[in-house]
Amino acid sequence: MAFRALFSFLLLFPGVSFAEENGIFKGDSLAPMGLVEAFQNIPQGSIVVLGENHGFKVHQTQHIAVLDTLRSLGHKVSVGLEFFTYTDQSLVEDYRAGRLSEADFLTAIRWGSPSYDFYRAQALYPNLGEGASTWALNAPRALTSKVAKTGLNSLSPEDAALLPPNFTLGRESYRQRFLGMMPHLPSPEAGERYFAAQSIWDDTMAWRAEQFVATHPGQTLVIVVGEFHVQYGGGLPDRLRARLPHTKVVTLSQINSYGLSATELQNEMRPSNEYGPRADLLWVAADKGPVQ
């Protein structure tokens, strides 16, 4: 198999070899791992951050596999979703409890895309009487949109009250990667505004996780979020560790191998010389594209 040669990486990682092109790997050594092995030493009450390509079916399947595995290992598991705004938490609770129909819920939260079919299983992940919950994590869209367009200094006192306490911009290495992903910005000032909005997403989600840990002691929170927020630790993981220094944070980056050459996949997986490992765990799988 051609990919078996790829996963030998002997020049980069002496002694490391891989049996399959898809599966779970340690982020630093790229050693292959089973699903239970990957999570068996994570203490209860941890935060597990799952990066994803929004709407990719294989990633949904892997979300549920992680949740099921943690449950099988004795964790009481709750789910945190980037796509739900924290000001809508009461609507999320009403929907989960069956007090609000799905159609009314989606209308109330102004759901857009991708298809909600992709997130239903995660949002309604069964707690089987465990007292687990679904946690709305993100900042209000109106807030981040305003910052992206006109900057932090344009916020009214009412707007600023929606920011997480002690809000902090992402670290410099994260800023550099973020701006590098946006080569067609109209101006450097626009890049700084967009990065401030990105930082609001990250720090708000970390603040909401901080609230979850305070109110749900011993529960493990699994956060589903876009890939860039997770990669190389500079976004959400960095803010989580700053706000929750005594809580274990584990990151998993999901890599779509569909259509990638051996070299391209190697570049996606291997640690960066500048930024280090992409995540604590990597899950490689192929998916042709998002659910419509």
Pull the structure tokens for residue 74.
């004795």
How many Å separate Cα 118 from the centre of its chain?
A: 15
Check pLDDT > 80 for residue 232: yes
Task: Please check whether residue 202 is in contact with residue 239, taking contact to mean a CB–CB distance below 8 angstroms.
Answer: yes
Question: Is there a domain that residue 138 lies in?
Answer: yes
Question: Is there a domain that residue 77 lies in?
Answer: yes
Cis peptide before 165 (omega within 30 of 0): no
SS3 state of residue 50: strand
In DSSP terms, which residues pair with 79 in a beta bridge? Answer: 134, 222
Mean pLDDT of 208-237: 94
The reported pLDDT for the residue numbered 246 is 96
Question: Is there a domain that residue 38 lies in?
Answer: no
The side-by-side arrangement of strands in the sheet containing 47-52 is 32-33, 23-26, 281-285, 249-256, 47-52, 220-226, 77-85, 134-138
Domain with 55, as residue range(s), is 45-279
CA-to-CA separations, 190 to 7, 97, 141, in angstroms, rounded: 40, 42, 18
CATH number of the domain that 181 lies in? Answer: 3.40.50
Question: Is there a domain that residue 79 lies in?
Answer: yes
Question: Is there a domain that residue 268 lies in?
Answer: yes
Distance CA 23, CA 32 (A): 7
Residue 121 exposed, middle or buried by CB count within 10 Å (0-12, 13-18, 19+): middle
Question: Is there a domain that residue 19 lies in?
Answer: no
Distance CA 244, CA 71 (A): 23
The reported pLDDT for the residue numbered 7 is 38
In DSSP terms, which residues pair with 25 in a beta bridge? Answer: 32, 282
Task: Please check whether residue 123 is in contact with residue 130, taking contact to mean a CB–CB distance below 8 angstroms.
Answer: no
Summarised one tens digit per residue, pLDDT across range 165-219 is 999 999 999 999 999 888 788 888 999 999 999 999 999 999 999 999 999 999 9
Question: Is there a domain that residue 288 lies in?
Answer: no
The reported pLDDT for the residue numbered 262 is 87
Where is 251: in which H helix or E strand?
Answer: strand 249-256
Specify the number of domains making up the chain.
1
CA atoms within 13 A on the CB side of 153: 2
Assign residue 15 a region: left if phi > 0, alpha if psi is -120 to 50, beta otherwise? left
What pTM did the predictor assign?
0.89
Distance CA 45, CA 47 (A): 7
CA atoms within 13 A on the CB side of 283: 23
Mean pLDDT of 23-41: 95
Question: Is there a domain that residue 284 lies in?
Answer: no
Check pLDDT > 70 for residue 76: yes
Check pLDDT > 50 for residue 95: yes
Mean pLDDT of 129-150: 94
